[in-house]
Structure 1
Amino acid sequence: MTTIDAVYNELKQVFDPEIPVNIVDLGLVYDVKIEADKVLIQMTLTSQACPEAKTIPDVMKRRIKGLDGVGDVQIDIVWNPPWSPHKISEAGRAILGIEDDQLDTH
């Protein structure tokens, strides 16, 4: 049986092709749950018009289905709360060269 940590490790190998930061550090993954052999992921995208809206979930499913004990993967894309640069991790901001003081604090 797989673990949530193992799922997150796989998700850290998935990238938006236009951004050099993985989807976890980019702040796109909101929640991961495991129910028996099913992995449930709640996530968002950087934009509702994201050209990779189908590709990213397909890559996620392929990677996660390779984990021991995973029979099914359900990915729910949500728009609330909306993604913003504030959701990018410290590591992701470092890769992108974004300083904390560059983020709007409102």
Structure 2
Amino acid sequence: MDLEKVREQLLEVYDPELGLNVVELGLIYHMEEVADGQLVIDMTLTTPGCPMHDTMSEAVEWAAGRVDGVEDVRVNVVWNPPWTPARMNDQARAKLGF
């Protein structure tokens, strides 16, 4: 499994409120192939109680599952550490005027 290809696929998953992808926003905290073909992704959202919780995690699961060698994806939505704008990459900060 190529985790870089997974990351590339996640560039297609956008936060609908901010219009930026989950990678640029720094919402993907960790990805690991825990067994052959089994991928675990820890991600967060910009705010607890986000109404897009299920939609965003399902979109990440779907996108990651499109990569060759990925047979099963488990997405854990975590809140620690809390997300802050400091987690965004330079491109995201520029797009949002930070």
Per the TM superposition, whether the score is higher than 0.5 is yes
Q: Which amino acid aligns with 1:79?
A: W
Q: Matches of 1:77 and 1:62 in 2, distance apart? A: 15
Q: Matches of 1:65 and 1:80 in 2, distance apart? A: 25
RMSD: 0.9
* 1:44-63 deviation per Cα after TM superposition (whole angstroms, max 9, x unaligned): 11111111000011111111
- The reply to whether residue 39 of structure 1 matches residue 51 of structure 2 is no
Show the counterpart of 2:19. 20
Report if aligned partners of 1:20, 1:95 keep a CA contact under 8 Å in 2. no
Q: Matches of 2:7 and 2:69 in 1, distance apart? A: 15
Larger radius of gyration: 1
Normalized against structure 1, the TM-score is what? Answer: 0.87
Q: Which amino acid aligns with 2:59?
A: V
Percent of pairs identical after alignment? 37
The Cα of 1:3 is off from its aligned counterpart by 0.6
Matches within 5 A, 1:47-62: 47-62=47-62
Show the counterpart of 1:101. none
- 3-state SS of paired residue (2:59): helix
Report if aligned partners of 1:3, 1:34 keep a CA contact under 8 Å in 2. no
Q: Matches of 1:20 and 1:95 in 2, distance apart? A: 10
Structure 1: segments with no counterpart, 5+ residues: 99-106
Aligned length: 97
Structure 2: segments with no counterpart, 5+ residues: none
The Cα of 1:42 is off from its aligned counterpart by 0.7
